[in-house]
Structure 1
Amino acid sequence: MTAVTQTTTAQSMWSPEELAEVRAALEQEIAELNRDIMRHEAEIASGDVIRGAGDDQADAGAKTYEREREIALTLNARDLVAQNERAIARIDAGTYGVCESCHKPIGKERLQAFPRATLCVKCKQKEERR
């Protein structure tokens, strides 16, 4: 089966209405994640040095831990936004539901559970074994 035929097969698994629902859910998640990013960045920015003046080592350590946690949450949210944007781009390009490795259709159940998936289960398992 050619890549074009496989792409057509993967697309035919999804109705236009279903793709619109997936797109809407991805866009909603992007908006929520962007709000989270803004909140985390505000919390990072508010942890200024002046408030830490006179803190003992435990307080300073706790503040450092919180700052690092906020940074990690922000980076994770940004990564999820990028994944969602790539999924929307695949919907627009007509390649949503096609494995980026083997070019075979990704199971519909997998995409319903994880709409950002770019690999079929078999290729994802191979990737994780490496």
Structure 2
Amino acid sequence: MTGAKAKVDTMAGDSKVEAAEAAALVVREDEDPWTEGELTEVRELLNADSLRLREEIDEAEADIADLLRSGDSGGEDQADTGTKTFEREHEMSLAASHRDMLNQTERALGRIENGTYGICESCGNPIGKARLQAFPRATLCMTCKQRQERR
């Protein structure tokens, strides 16, 4: 029973830490603080995205390797060679895009862990909880994002 009670106490302690961690994250003045459940939901979404992106990167890299292995163009006409080149470049573009999204996802998870999640990387103001719940990888507040897109 002592071991079971210690495990329950540890879980309760972890829950208190997670609740405090969630409440400590920056939000806009018109928003309620993060709850433990909301932060857990964002973490789970980011972790699921990370896993999905890793699988898609692995799949794209395997497709690229297959295309490179079948690169012997003996007897193919120019259209076939062009199609293979297009497919290879498309797979490489997909893999690069997924790697970029994976980096953003891991960066968001790191920002949650170090307590900077929700702070705009450009101006230092709160990004907004609603924005982060809709797009958990956001690193800029709406004002800075709009300014960036106008450039």
Q: For the superposition of Structure 1 and Structure 2, which TM-score range results when normalised by the shorter chain?
A: 0.7 to 0.9
Q: Corresponding residue for 2:48?
A: 28
**Partner Cα distance (1:10, 1:29) in 2:** 23
Q: Say what the alpha-carbon RMSD is for the aligned residues.
A: 1.7
Q: CA deviation at 1:10?
A: 2.2
Q: Percent identity?
A: 51
Show the 5 A alignment for 1:1-130: 9-10=26-27, 13-47=33-67, 48=69, 49-50=71-72, 52-130=73-151
Judge conservation of contact 2:118–2:139 (CA < 8 Å) in 1: yes
Give the whole-Å Cα distance in 1 for the aligned partners of 2:45 and 2:55.
15
Q: 2-side partners of 1:31 and 1:115: how far apart?
A: 15
Is the radius of gyration larger for structure 1 or structure 2? 2
Q: Which runs of 5+ in 1 are unaligned?
A: 1-6
Segments ≥4 residues shifted beyond 6 Å: none
The answer on whether the counterparts of 2:108 and 2:117 sit within 8 Å (CA) in structure 1 is: yes
Name the count of aligned residue pairs. Answer: 123
Q: Which has the higher contact order (CA 8 A, sep 6+)?
A: 1
The TM-score, its normalising length taken from structure 2, stands at 0.76
Contact 1:26 1:88 in 2 (8 A): yes
**Distance in 2, Cα, partners of 1:32 & 1:123:** 29
With normalisation by structure 1, the TM-score equals: 0.88
Aligned to 2:27, the other structure's residue is in SS state helix
Aligned AA for 1:86?
R
